[in-house]
Every structure is written in structure tokens, then in C-alpha cells.
Amino acid sequence: MARISFDAMLRDSISNKQTEEFLRLYREPLKEEVKIEEKPLKIFISFSEYSENIYLVEQLLDPFLSHLSFDVHYWRKDQRIGIPTKIIEDIIDNCDGIIALYTKDDKIEGGSYRSTGNVTFELGRARLPAVILCEKGTKIESMPYSTITVIHFERGKFGQLFLDLLKVLKNSRWIDIKTSMP
């Protein structure tokens, strides 16, 4: 009995144009044919504008989150003419989540530190899913609402911070991490 290829069998049963189209679809990976366009989640980063924090946000956190397909926003990136408070509120209102940096900005009684007031205000204003990145030794004076995940970090150990953040984002279903085998 002669073996007939799948291609030949198809060519005998339907027109060449239909066969070629079917074979093209059959041979190409599904991901190339089905393109689901999802809008990236918009994330607002709240932080006090000290040089160490600017570096952390602009050089590390923004590129990291952007690489994970987030649409990242913060005051320095989205500055425009107008009243800063109103502009920041508008930016926050158009975001899906917020990441707040609580860093050692102001020394307080007892030898600990607190972040500047804008971070607490922006976090409380947002009413969005949130993550606080809290530098060790910084006191979180009040929680605007109680469902906020806090990740503690140390300056200079940003690798661990990003691994912890990645785990929280994945567990919160803000991102879908898939691995592939060669």
C-alpha cells in the first residue's frame, strides 16, 4: 500500500488555494496567528525626589517594570504645565495600580526614619491596588487602607528587592510569568 502524505491527501480533497491556506496555518505557531492585544497595566510610582530615590526609580524600577510590559508613570516622567498636585491626581486616576517608595527621608524620634508626606498622600489618594517598597529602618506612620502589601528592602540589595517585587506581582496576577523549554 502506498503512503500518501497529509499534504497530498488534502490537495486531492479541496482546492489548492484552500490547501495552501490550511497548510500555512497548520505549520505556523498559533501565537503568530492569534494576536491578543491587551493594554498594559498602568502603574504610578510614588516617591520623594531625593537623588537616591530618583536613581532607583528612573534607572532601575521604571526599566524593570517597563520590561515586564507595565506602562509606568510618575511625576518626573509625566510633568506638564499646571498645578502639580492636580496633575499628580490626574495621573494617579488614570492608573491601575500604585507602587509607593517609603524611604529614609526624614529622621524622627527614636532613631528611625519616615518618608515624605507626598508618598502617604498619593498612596491614600489612589485607592488602587498597591505595593509599598519600604526601606529597612523607615517607619510607615499610617496605612491609608489595610490591604497593602509591604516589601522591605535594603539599599544596595536591589536584586533581592526586584525578586520580591516580581513574586508579589505574579501572586497578585498583575503579570503572567511563563517559562519556555528549548
Domains of the chain by residue range: 42-171
Evaluate whether 109 touches 78 at the Cβ level (below 8 Å).
Answer: no
Nearest to 127 by CA among 115, 150, 145: 145
pLDDT of residue 23: 52
pLDDT of residue 86: 92
pLDDT of residue 16: 60
pLDDT of residue 116: 74
Using a cut of 0.85, tell me whether the model's pTM lies above it. Answer: no
pLDDT of residue 138: 86
Three cell numbers written together for 141: 506612620
User: How far apart, in Å, are the Cα atoms of 99 and each of 44, 74, 110?
Assistant: 6, 10, 27
pLDDT of residue 152: 93
pLDDT of residue 94: 94
- Would you give per-residue pLDDT tens digits along the chain (182 residues)? 444 444 454 444 445 665 566 555 555 554 444 444 578 899 999 999 888 999 999 999 999 999 999 999 999 998 889 898 899 999 999 999 999 999 887 777 777 777 777 888 888 887 888 999 999 988 887 665 556 889 999 988 899 999 999 999 888 877 665 544 44
Evaluate whether 136 touches 152 at the Cβ level (below 8 Å).
Answer: yes
Nearest to 22 by CA among 12, 30, 31, 10: 10
70 HSE (CA, 13 A, CB side): 26
Rounded to whole angstroms, the Cα distance separating 135 from 162 reads 13
Rounded to whole angstroms, the Cα distance separating 65 from 43 reads 9
pLDDT of residue 181: 47
pLDDT of residue 34: 45
CATH architecture of 42-171: 3-Layer(aba) Sandwich (3.40)
pLDDT of residue 10: 41
pLDDT of residue 179: 47
